[in-house]
Structure formats: structure tokens, C-alpha cells
Amino acid sequence: MSRQARAQLWGIGQPALTLLLTLFVATFIVAPPALRSSDVTASAAATKAVTAAAQATGRSLVLPGQGAPGNLEPIAGPGMPAGDSRVVRMDVGGHERGYLLLPALGLPPGRLAALVVVLHQDVGSAQAVAEGLGLDSLRREGVTLVYPAGVGGSWNAGACCGVAMDQGVDDVAFVDAVLDDVGRHVPIDTKRRALVGYSGGGMLAYRVLCRAHPALLAAVEVSGSLEAHCPSTVVLPDLLSIHGAKDGTVGMTRPIRVTHLGMSPRPVESTLTVMTTQAQCGRRTTTDKPGLRLVHWRSCRGGSTIDLQIVAGAGHGWESVQGAERAIPFLESHLLTQA
């Protein structure tokens, strides 16, 4: 074939060859390579797990005890200057655990801060509740806030919940260790310490309160329930319990089956009956206000009180029951008036 003929043939075939090459490349760029059925199953499971975690916790910092990477850096607290908050690592029973420490702001030299330890909900995270519960204003009043991290985002509260319960994690020992450890990093008044627990964190709060623990002046439980044994010798700090009257997870008078937990949390009425009976509380009084029922028990063992706030029309969520608006005044009245 002559050189001229070959050139004419190349001129005719070049566009077609270019098109075929483009399609070939596009196939490997746009379309994924073929997967085995096991690969597809694993990929779908991983995607589902990541999506579920993201939906449950939002943007969250993974702390020690939650499968943390090895090089965690200090982070800024919600809306706070960088460097005033930090991740604290600790060893509890041979396992690395951690908490998010947000020190009190603007304390005069020599003044000790009060301490509030906040336990996140099931499938939650320390950073998510630090950013979302609205308790940060307490820092400017001289309160250090601490957010421990549950294993796999869960707490072993006795009959609940998740990975922590399945693995028999001693979360009571962890919370006790956190209460004692914070003072090694920032100045804390050990006579002004409080515990706050939300949902699954509220379950763990009850378990902590029912066992020997470092001295607490007050405790707040929001949308939680008692899922562990509480002895008849228990001595409670002043306790505030906050619940929504239309809670679809923790019922007021009857248990509700919660599929993802695989159990039915103890109803509010049953929890408070056990707690007030075991703590030998005195007379109960009830006061109804617009949209709110207040139940008060006084003269519990050691002179403490228990208060229950039932919010009409509210559900299980922290914002639904106005958790911050109800918890902050209670904490202020106990932790700041004695400074």
C-alpha cells in the first residue's frame, strides 16, 4: 500500500479510534470495577454503619475509648478560643479511656472552679453533646465542664446499652475516675461537683448514684431511667429528673419496647418510686403549672431532695424538654451559691 493510501486510511480511522479510546477510559473512570458479592456486602455494610454514625452523632471528635487514632490533638470548645479545651487520656482497668475537658473561663487567681461531668446519650459522642446541650454558659460562671466518651458511643448502665454493656465495660469506675482526675489538670473545688446524664447517660448516672462514688453535691437526669440495682442504703445528692410527658422511649407509667436497644426502659414512675424508697425520702408534694408538673420529695437520707419535672407535650429529646433551661438554674443554685 502506498504511503498516500496509508495516510488516507489513518485520516479516516483516527476519529473512530479516538472515540473508542475515550469510551474505554471513561468506563474505568466513571464506572466502578466489578466487585465480588462479598465485596458488595462489605461495602454496603460499611457505608450503612458510617451513615448511621454520622446521623446519630453529627460532627464528632473520636476520643480514647471510642477507637481513637493515636495522635489526637487538643481542640477548641464550642465557640471558645483555640487551646482552652483539650482531650484528656487516662487508663481505667487497663483500657485507654478519655474525656473532653472544657475549663472554667475568667476565674480570678486562686479561685477553684466547680465541676459538672456530662454523660452523653446512647449512640452519642462527647463533642456532639458539648456543642449541642447548651451548657457552655456555665463556664463563664466558674464551672468546668467535662464530657466523658462512652465505648462505641454507649454506656454500660446495667440492663442497657450497646457495645459497653455487651463487653461488660465498667463505666461506673470510669466516671468515678474522671471525677477524681479532672483536679489533676485544672483547679477544682471537690465540694462543688455535679453529674448530668442525658438518655443513656441518664441511665448510667443512676447507676453511678446507686453505688459508692466521689462526693457529689447535685445530679441532673434527663430522659433516662434506672436500669441497675439500687441498694436500700443509698445516699443521694440533690437530684433533678426531667422528662417529657409524651416521651416515646421512656414511658411515664408503662414500659415502651425500644427495638434498637433490645429492651424496655423502666418507666419514670417506677424509677422515681425505687429511688425515693431506697433513699428513704419523706413526704411527696405535687404542683401543677402551665405546661409543667413539679413533683418534690424532701428529707431523703442525708437531707437531700429529689425533684421531678414533667414537661407537657414534650418528647424524649434534650431540646424538647428544654434540658439546658431547666438544668442550668438547678446547677447554679447548688454549685455557685457556695463558691
Q: Would residue 38 count as lying in a domain?
A: no
In angstroms, rounded to a whole number, what is the distance separating the alpha carbons of residues 143 and 136? 9
- pLDDT of 224 > 70? The answer is yes
Q: Residue 35 — very low, low, confident or very high, per pLDDT cuts 50/70/90?
A: very low
Q: What is the pLDDT of residue 66?
A: 66
Map residue 43 onto helix, strand or coil: helix
Q: Would residue 65 count as lying in a domain?
A: no
- Please report, for residues 73, 126, 140, 191, 257, the alpha-carbon distance to residue 198 in angstroms, rounded to integers and kept in the order given: 27, 12, 22, 23, 19
DSSP 8-class letter at 200: H
**Under a CB-based contact definition with an 8 Å cutoff, are residues 229 and 213 in contact?**
no
Please, what is the Cα angle at 253 between 250 and 255, to 5 degrees? 50
Q: Residue 33 — very low, low, confident or very high, per pLDDT cuts 50/70/90?
A: very low
Q: Would residue 69 count as lying in a domain?
A: no
- pLDDT of 54 > 60? The answer is no
**Cis, peptide link before residue 161, omega less than 30° from 0:** yes
Number of domains in the chain: 1
Q: Would residue 50 count as lying in a domain?
A: no
Q: What is the pLDDT of residue 84?
A: 74
Q: Residue 339 — very low, low, confident or very high, per pLDDT cuts 50/70/90?
A: low
**Under a CB-based contact definition with an 8 Å cutoff, are residues 257 and 322 in contact?**
no
- pLDDT of 191 > 90? The answer is yes
- Please report, for residues 30, 79, 83, 106, 128, the alpha-carbon distance to residue 88 in angstroms, rounded to integers and kept in the order given: 44, 20, 13, 21, 17
As given in the structure block, the three cell numbers for residue 134 are: 447548651
Q: Would residue 282 count as lying in a domain?
A: yes
Report the relative pairing of strands 292-297 and 306-311 from DSSP bridges: antiparallel
Handedness of CA 265, 99, 58, 193 (dihedral sign): positive
Q: Would residue 316 count as lying in a domain?
A: yes
- Mean pLDDT across the stretch 117-125? 94
Range(s) of the domain holding residue 269: 78-335
Q: What is the pLDDT of residue 108?
A: 87
> Cα Rg for the chain, rounded, in angstroms?
27
CATH number of the CATH domain containing 283: 3.40.50.1820
In angstroms, rounded to a whole number, what is the distance separating the alpha carbons of residues 155 and 172? 9
Ranking 52-56, 85-89, 171-175 by mean pLDDT, the lowest is: 52-56
Q: Would residue 5 count as lying in a domain?
A: no
In angstroms, rounded to a whole number, what is the distance separating the alpha carbons of residues 268 and 265? 9
Q: Would residue 25 count as lying in a domain?
A: no
CB atoms within 10 A of CB 50: 10
- Please report, for residues 64, 67, 109, 174, 201, the alpha-carbon distance to residue 96 in angstroms, rounded to integers and kept in the order given: 6, 10, 33, 10, 20
Backbone angles phi, psi at 266, to 5 degrees: -65, 135
**Under a CB-based contact definition with an 8 Å cutoff, are residues 143 and 115 in contact?**
yes
